[in-house]
Structure 1
Amino acid sequence: MESSTETPLLAAKKATKNAHFTGDVEDITPINGAKDFFVQFGVESKKLWYLAAPAIFMSVSQYLLGAITQTFAGHVGTLELAAFSIENSVIAGFSLGILLGMGSALETLCGQAFGAGQIDMLGVYMQRSWIILFVSSLLMMFLYIFATPLLLLIGQTEDISRAAGQMAIWMIPQLFAYAFNFPIVKFLQSQSKIMVMAYISAVALVLHTFFSWLLMLKLGWGLWGGAIVLNVSWWFMVIAQMIYILSGTCGEAWSGFSWGAFHNLWSFVKLSLASALMICLETWYFMALVLFAGYLKNAETAVDALSICTNIVGMAITIAIGFNAAVSVRVSNELGAAHPRTAKFSVVVVVITSFLVGCVLASFLGIFQHQYPAIFADSLQVQQAVYDLTPLLAACLIINEVQPALSGVAIGAGWQAVIAYINIACYYIFGVPLGLFFGFVLDWGVKGIWVGMLTGTVVQTIILVCICYRTNWDKEASLAEERIRKWSGQKKVVVEA
Structure 2
Amino acid sequence: MFIIIIHEWKIGMSSATETLCGQAFGAGHHHMMGIYLQRSWIVDGITATILAPVFIFATPILRLLGQEEELAVAAGPISLWFIPMIYSFVVSMTISMFLQAQLKNLIVGWLSMAAFVVHVSLSWIFVNKFKWGVNGAMAAMNMSGWIMVVGQLVYVFGGWCPNTWRGFSKAAFFDLLPVVKLSISSGVMICLELWYYSILVLMAGYMKNATVAIAAFSICLNINAWEFMVCLGFLVAAWYCIQIIISFFFLKQSLKRNQISYLFSSDEEVAETVSSLSIFFAFAILLNSVQPVLSGIATGAGLQSIVAYVNLGCYYMIGIPMGILVGYIADLQVKGLWIGLMSGVVMQSLILGWFVWKTDWDEQVRKASERLNRWLLKPPEEDNESPFDA
Q: TM-score scaled to structure 1, two decimals?
A: 0.68
Among 425, 428, 438, the alignment partner of 2:316 is 428
Give the distance between the partners of 1:445 and 1:151, measured in 2 at CA.
30
Residue 125 (structure 1) aligns with:
36
Give the distance between the partners of 1:403 and 1:259, measured in 2 at CA.
38
Displacement after TM superposition at 1:355 (Å): 3.8
Residue 383 (structure 2) aligns with:
none
Residue 311 (structure 1) aligns with:
222
3-state SS, counterpart of residue 163 of structure 2: helix
Displacement after TM superposition at 1:460 (Å): 0.5
Displacement after TM superposition at 1:218 (Å): 7.0
Among 355, 371, 374, the alignment partner of 2:262 is 374
Give the distance between the partners of 1:309 and 1:224, measured in 2 at CA.
30
Matching residue's letter, 1:110? C
Per-residue CA deviation, residues 350-381 of structure 1 (Å, 9 max, x unaligned), is 2x643432221233345566432222234444
Residue 227 (structure 1) aligns with:
138
Matching residue's letter, 2:319? G
Task: Please say if residues 93 and 287 of structure 1, whose CA atoms lie closer than 8 Å, have aligned partners that are also in contact.
Answer: no
Displacement after TM superposition at 1:233 (Å): 2.5
3-state SS, counterpart of residue 104 of structure 1: helix
Displacement after TM superposition at 1:219 (Å): 6.6
Q: Does 1:354 align with 2:242?
A: no
Matches within 5 A, 1:39-50: none
Task: Please say if residues 358 and 398 of structure 1, whose CA atoms lie closer than 8 Å, have aligned partners that are also in contact.
Answer: yes
Given the superposition, is the C-alpha separation of residues 379 and 198 from structure 1 closer, same or farther in structure 2, using an over 3 Å criterion? same
Matching residue's letter, 1:137? A
Displacement after TM superposition at 1:431 (Å): 1.0
Question: 5+ unaligned residues in a row in structure 2: which ranges?
Answer: 379-390
Residue 160 (structure 2) aligns with:
249
Displacement after TM superposition at 1:400 (Å): 2.0
Residue 396 (structure 1) aligns with:
284
Matching residue's letter, 1:177? S
Matching residue's letter, 1:245? V
Matches within 5 A, 1:259-338: 259-323=170-234
Residue 406 (structure 1) aligns with:
294
Matches within 5 A, 1:80-91: 87=1, 91=2
3-state SS, counterpart of residue 245 of structure 1: helix
Given the superposition, is the C-alpha separation of residues 417 and 466 from structure 1 closer, same or farther in structure 2, using an over 3 Å criterion? same
Give the distance between the partners of 2:283 and 2:299, measured in 1 at CA.
25
Task: Please say if residues 320 and 340 of structure 2, whose CA atoms lie closer than 8 Å, have aligned partners that are also in contact.
Answer: yes
Displacement after TM superposition at 1:467 (Å): 1.4
Give the distance between the partners of 1:104 and 1:198, measured in 2 at CA.
18
Give the distance between the partners of 1:217 and 1:381, measured in 2 at CA.
32
Task: Please say if residues 174 and 231 of structure 1, whose CA atoms lie closer than 8 Å, have aligned partners that are also in contact.
Answer: yes
3-state SS, counterpart of residue 126 of structure 1: helix
Q: Does 1:463 align with 2:374?
A: no
Displacement after TM superposition at 1:130 (Å): 0.8
Displacement after TM superposition at 1:414 (Å): 1.6
Task: Please say if residues 155 and 295 of structure 1, whose CA atoms lie closer than 8 Å, have aligned partners that are also in contact.
Answer: no
Q: Does 1:477 align with 2:388?
A: no
Task: Please say if residues 102 and 133 of structure 1, whose CA atoms lie closer than 8 Å, have aligned partners that are also in contact.
Answer: yes
Q: Does 1:192 align with 2:80?
A: no
Moved more, 280-289 or 453-462: 280-289
Q: Does 1:176 align with 2:87?
A: yes
Give the distance between the partners of 1:307 and 1:145, measured in 2 at CA.
30
3-state SS, counterpart of residue 331 of structure 2: coil
Displacement after TM superposition at 1:126 (Å): 0.5
Residue 450 (structure 1) aligns with:
338
Q: Matched residues, percent identical? A: 40
Q: Compare relative contact order (CA 8 Å, sep 6+) and give the higher one, 1 or 2.
A: 1
Task: Please say if residues 402 and 461 of structure 1, whose CA atoms lie closer than 8 Å, have aligned partners that are also in contact.
Answer: yes
Matching residue's letter, 2:330? L
Task: Please say if residues 16 and 182 of structure 2, whose CA atoms lie closer than 8 Å, have aligned partners that are also in contact.
Answer: yes
Task: Please say if residues 258 and 274 of structure 2, whose CA atoms lie closer than 8 Å, have aligned partners that are also in contact.
Answer: no
Matching residue's letter, 1:358? Q
3-state SS, counterpart of residue 202 of structure 1: helix
Q: Does 1:106 align with 2:17?
A: yes
Task: Please say if residues 220 and 274 of structure 2, whose CA atoms lie closer than 8 Å, have aligned partners that are also in contact.
Answer: yes
Task: Please say if residues 32 and 377 of structure 2, whose CA atoms lie closer than 8 Å, have aligned partners that are also in contact.
Answer: no
Matching residue's letter, 2:337? I
Displacement after TM superposition at 1:390 (Å): 3.1
Matching residue's letter, 2:17? L
Displacement after TM superposition at 1:224 (Å): 4.4
Task: Please say if residues 284 and 342 of structure 2, whose CA atoms lie closer than 8 Å, have aligned partners that are also in contact.
Answer: yes
3-state SS, counterpart of residue 436 of structure 1: helix
Give the distance between the partners of 2:73 and 2:333, measured in 1 at CA.
25
Residue 384 (structure 2) aligns with:
none
3-state SS, counterpart of residue 241 of structure 1: helix
Residue 26 (structure 2) aligns with:
115
Displacement after TM superposition at 1:323 (Å): 4.6
Moved more, 165-174 or 428-437: 165-174
Give the distance between the partners of 1:305 and 1:157, measured in 2 at CA.
26
Question: 5+ unaligned residues in a row in structure 1: which ranges?
Answer: 1-86, 325-349, 491-497
Displacement after TM superposition at 1:172 (Å): 3.5
Give the distance between the partners of 1:380 and 1:160, measured in 2 at CA.
30
Given the superposition, is the C-alpha separation of residues 108 and 275 from structure 1 closer, same or farther in structure 2, using an over 3 Å criterion? same
Give the distance between the partners of 2:69 and 2:270, measured in 1 at CA.
21
Count of aligned pairs = 375
Displacement after TM superposition at 1:210 (Å): 4.0
Residue 387 (structure 2) aligns with:
none
3-state SS, counterpart of residue 187 of structure 2: helix
Give the distance between the partners of 1:98 and 1:448, measured in 2 at CA.
29
Residue 7 (structure 2) aligns with:
96
Task: Please say if residues 181 and 238 of structure 1, whose CA atoms lie closer than 8 Å, have aligned partners that are also in contact.
Answer: yes
Q: TM-score scaled to structure 2, two decimals?
A: 0.85
